[in-house]
Structure formats: structure tokens, C-alpha cells
Amino acid sequence: MRKRAKKIDKFNDIVMNSPKYAPQSLQDLAKLSECEKSIINLSRNENPFDIPENIKEIFFEKVRQVSLNRYPELTSENIRQKIADFFNSYFDLTNVGLTRDLTKENIAVGNGSDELISYLIRIFPGNEVIICTPTFEMYEFYSSLNGLKIKNCPLNQEFEIEDIHKEITEKTGLVFICSPNNPTGNLQPEEEILKILETGVPVVLDEAYADFSKTSMIKYISQYPNLVILRTFSKAFGLAGIRAGVLIANQEIVSQLMRIESPYSFNILTEKMLETMLENYNTVLDNIEYIIEERTFLSSQLKGYALKSNANFILLDLGSLTDMKGITSNMAYKYFLQNGIIVRRYDNVPRVENKIRITVGTREENRRFLACFRKMKDDVTAI
Ligand code: PMP
């Protein structure tokens, strides 16, 4: 009889020592039964609206016409050009001012912008990455996984970047800036970003939530060949499930990035759904307006607790509560969970550990959240 091989218990050190990406809210969500439809998930900054049925039908029709036994295009030329054409008018339409000259050479697509982040950290020289915390955790996650050193430059009192250009050294491979910033929700000052760009270092400006602030630094793409803008279709476009992220940059950066991208990585279904959405984006514009209105409503109802937000989420500062003294974000998180609402909390994340982040939902969901928030306050003050 053949001998059985021993179980492998040694793996790459970096991989073995990397923390798993598994926020508590996702673990709790997985535990909840599928049929618990009344659960409101306000932890992932998703769009509360699914794609309308008539748009899904157009997608189904497109899928009927493609051969799924065939690979997609090798380098997604078609959809990249469609995205470039779309952005040329979309940015104009949303008043951020643009240059109408994006072409497919300026566009790379990924399986969510997460995947593009994982590529970006590998294409520049320099073994150090500047991350301005608190911010989106995936910058650190992928950088560490690839053995890069993290240089942490904390955001100032207002959660804004300040004098980051002075931190650039020859070791700096790239700088990540998130605007509006996740989880704080504020925009980063353009002046400060320009000062970093002027140093010539690659700057990845993550505009995942910029549809809700109607801002972009897209107009600087031609002036600064070191500027990389990330956008995603997971938030305002309501397509988190299809995993589509976009990078907009100088064509040299795009072509280098495509050297390391897996061939055929953008699958046909994602491509067809995205194509459908770009041809039918009016609902997106309506949803953005709805979410901005709801953000204003929630912020006014949560006055004193809510940080000013330019995104589709709001960070609530529980530490500022005097009538809830002693309530930790952990306790608040559990309270909401028991009431069928999942929020995002930040254990051990400096400066946001006493805060929770909520996604702006539908009016009904927001009302349920507000009622629960008030009940929590009453329950605690009654103790
Ligand atoms: N950037 C930021 C700031 C985010 O918050 C997210 C999603 N949570 C992403 C990028 C990733 O988006 P996706 O991979 O869905 O495109």
C-alpha cells in the first residue's frame, strides 16, 4: 500500500502571520439564518436598492446571447472602452468637471477595487506604503501580505490628511488616500493631495464613495501621471454582488498593472451586468439623490453623535454621549444585533474604537435604526 503524505503544517510566514479579513459583523451575519429577512444589515456600506427588474431583464437577455463556454476577452478591451466613454459623460453630468479624453488605455478593471489594490501595491518600486489612519483596512491588509512596510501617518483631529508630503522618502512606494474616507466619511483636502502629487510619488486616491459627495480629482489625471483613482460599482451603482472595480490613471500605470493581472480575470457575467448598468444609469442617479437625502435626515436625527459625512455611511461617536456614559461600541453593537440591526464596530482601531459606523439605508430601515438607538439610550439611562 502507498504511504500517506504528512499533513502540510508549514506555509509562507507572511501568509501564516496575516490576520484574516473577518469583521465581527460578517461573522455574526453568517450565523443568522437565511430566512431572517427582517435583519437590517447596515454594516457594509451597500446600496439598499437592488437593480430594478427591467434592468435585470436586459442583463438576462445579454447573457442569453453570449457563449459561456468561451473565455471572456483577454484584456477586457470592450468594457474598458465603455467605462471610459461612460465616465467622460458621467463626471461631466455630476459636475466634477472633466476632460473628456479618457480612453480604454486609462482604465483597468478588477474583481472589485479590492483586487486592484492588491495589484497596485506590487507595481511600484519602494518597499514602504504610506497609510493615513483610521482608514479602509484593505490597504494595510494587502501591503502586509506582500511583505511591504507600513508607514502609518495618522489623520489630524478633523480626520484630515496634513503634511503627508513631508513624510515621503526614497523608500516610499505609494501613498493611499481615501476620500471620502472610510470609516470617518469626510472628504480629504484637495490642496494636501496636490502637495503629495507634486512630490512625484504614486498616489492612490480611493474614491469608492465619491458618487455621494459628487467630487473627484479626475481632472488632474492628465497633469499628474502619478495619480491613480479608484472607483467602484459596488456602492452608488448597487452592484456589490458582481464585483466590479475600476482604476483610472495614466496609460503607463494601467499597462504595467495589466502585466500582473491574471488573464481573462473580468468574467463575462460581470461584464454584461456592468455594460447593462452603464447603458441604464438613470436609476443610479436617483438612488444617489435618495441616499444623500436620507443621510441628511439621519444626521439631523443623530445630531451630537454623527460625524459629518460625504459618503453613504455615518460614523457615530458614542464616546461623546453623556447620557450613555459607560456604553462601549461593543455593547451598542450587541444591542443593535439583538434588535435585528447589524452595524460596524471597530475593536482595537485607534480613534474609532468607541464609534460605530452605519450605512444609510431606506427610510424604513433608517427609522428602525433611529427607534432602536433611542431605545438603547432610554434603556441605559434607566439603569
Ligand atoms: N475602497 C473603499 C474605501 C471601500 O470601503 C471598499 C469597500 N468596502 C472598497 C474600496 C472595495 O470595494 P469593492 O472591492 O467592492 O469594489
- Asked whether residue 202 falls in the same domain as residue 128, the answer is yes
From the number of C-beta atoms within 10 Å of its C-beta (0-12, 13-18, 19+), residue 191 rates as exposed
pLDDT at residue 154, rounded to an integer: 98
Q: Is the CB of 240 under 6 A from ligand 1?
A: yes
Decide if 270 is inside a domain. Answer: yes
113 Cα nearest atom in ligand 1: 16
152-209 pLDDT, tens digit each: 999 999 999 999 999 999 999 999 999 999 999 999 999 999 999 999 999 999 999 9
Is residue 182 within 6 Å of ligand 1 at its C-beta? yes
Do 289 and 179 have their domain in common? Answer: no
Same domain assignment for residues 123 and 270: yes
Domain containing 246: what range?
53-280
Q: What is the DSSP letter of 13?
A: H
The C-alpha atoms of residue 44 and residue 359 are separated, in whole angstroms, by 7
Count of structural domains within the chain: 2
Residue 305 lies in a domain: yes
CA–CA dist 352, 69 (Å, integer):
48
Q: Are residues 146 and 198 in the same domain?
A: yes
**Do 92 and 211 reside in the same domain of the chain?**
yes
pLDDT-based confidence at residue 30 (cuts at 50, 70, 90): low
Whether 102 and 233 map to the same domain: the answer is: yes
43 and 168 belong to one structural domain: no
Whether residue 126 sits in one domain with residue 234 = yes
In a domain, 347, yes or no: yes
Domain endpoint, select from 260, 280, 300:
280
Same domain as 94, residue 76? yes
Question: Which of 21, 83, 113 maximizes ligand 1 atoms within 8 Å of its Cβ, making it the mutation to test the pocket?
Answer: 113
Q: Which of 280, 296, 327 is the last residue of a domain?
A: 280
Closest CA to 293 of 246, 339, 360, 370: 360
172: helix, strand or coil: strand
| Distance between Cα 46 and ligand 1 center (Å) | 10
Q: Report whether 318 contacts 324 (CB < 8 A).
A: yes
Q: Which atom of ligand 1 is nearest to the CA of 110?
A: 16
Per-residue pLDDT tens digits for 64-102? 999 999 999 999 999 999 999 999 988 776 656 656 689
What is the 353 CA–ligand 1 centroid distance (Å)?
21
